[in-house]
Amino acid sequence: MNKQPFFPFQALADTLLPFLPEDNGDGSHDLSHIHRVWTNAQVIQAKEGGDPEILLAATLLHDCVPVEKNSPLRAQASTLSADRAARILNGLSWPDSRVNAVAHAVQTHSFSAALIPTTLEAKILQDSDRLDAIGLIGVARCFYVSGRMGSALYDYTNPLATGREYQDKRFTIEHFHTKLLRLASGFQTPEGARLAAIRHQRLESFLHEFMDEITGQPINEPS
């Protein structure tokens, strides 16, 4: 394994990493998250094409303005990061066209922003970031974030949320239904969609086994 985590653009990473915010204690949006998104982006880019330097810059800067999940500014987080990313790259004398390409990718990557990416690099970044929200990594991040927000694991009196709307801010497992299980249908690239389908199956399997353990009886088998 190459010891440079952002190979083959480690020099660019070394330039941009100092602009990232200091550790705020959010292990779901730390450097390991950025590295996983970059790993995903490399896999997708190898199949779909796109400018890898633009992709890395956008990956490194996509959360450069940290906003908590429960903040009223959450829907604006990607726009705030895009604006800051543009200022950073302008300060490094990047050409306007490449600054704009990075900023667009950063702005449109977010699920909360609900913006549509129009460039290949932006589509790849959105797919790469969303891959980190599903599969077993997505499970781990979901429970981690919910723990930070003070949510319970599930509603023991009504674990299936029968007869009521899902309350994912109160009960972690209900976030699977309000968001995680919906993500795989919205991928932008063929390779991203292929990888998402694999991770979606892992989500369904986890949810099935989780519910089996807490209810003592089998729930519907995952599709």
Residue 22 pLDDT more than 80?
Answer: no
Residue 194 pLDDT more than 90?
Answer: yes
Return the percentage of the chain with pLDDT > 90, whole number: 75
> What pLDDT score was predicted for residue 223?
46
Is 59:128 a contact under the CB 8 Å cutoff?
A: yes
- Does residue 152 sit in helix, strand or coil? strand
Model confidence pTM above 0.85: yes
Q: How many helices (H) and strands (E) does the chain have?
A: 9, 0
CA 6 to chain centre: 18
Nearest to 121 by CA among 181, 62, 52: 52
> What pLDDT score was predicted for residue 131?
96
Residue 157 pLDDT more than 70?
Answer: yes
Q: Structure tokens of 136?
A: 């077993």
Give the mean model confidence (pLDDT) for residues 41-46.
97
In which band, very low, low, confident or very high, does the pLDDT at 149 lie, cut at 50, 70 and 90?
confident
Residue 15 pLDDT more than 70?
Answer: yes
* Domain architecture of the chain: domains with CATH: 1-116 (1.10.3210.50), 133-223 (1.10.3210.50)
Residue 221 pLDDT more than 70?
Answer: no
Q: Output the average pLDDT for the chain.
A: 90
Rounded Cα–Cα distance for residues 46 and 49 (Å): 6
Residue pLDDT, tens place only, 74-119: 678 889 999 999 999 999 999 999 999 999 999 999 877 788 999 9
Rounded Cα–Cα distance for residues 64 and 107 (Å): 11
Residue pLDDT, tens place only, 45-79: 999 999 999 999 999 999 888 776 666 666 788 89
In which band, very low, low, confident or very high, does the pLDDT at 3 lie, cut at 50, 70 and 90?
confident
Nearest to 177 by CA among 145, 144, 142, 150: 142
Residue 1 pLDDT more than 60?
Answer: no
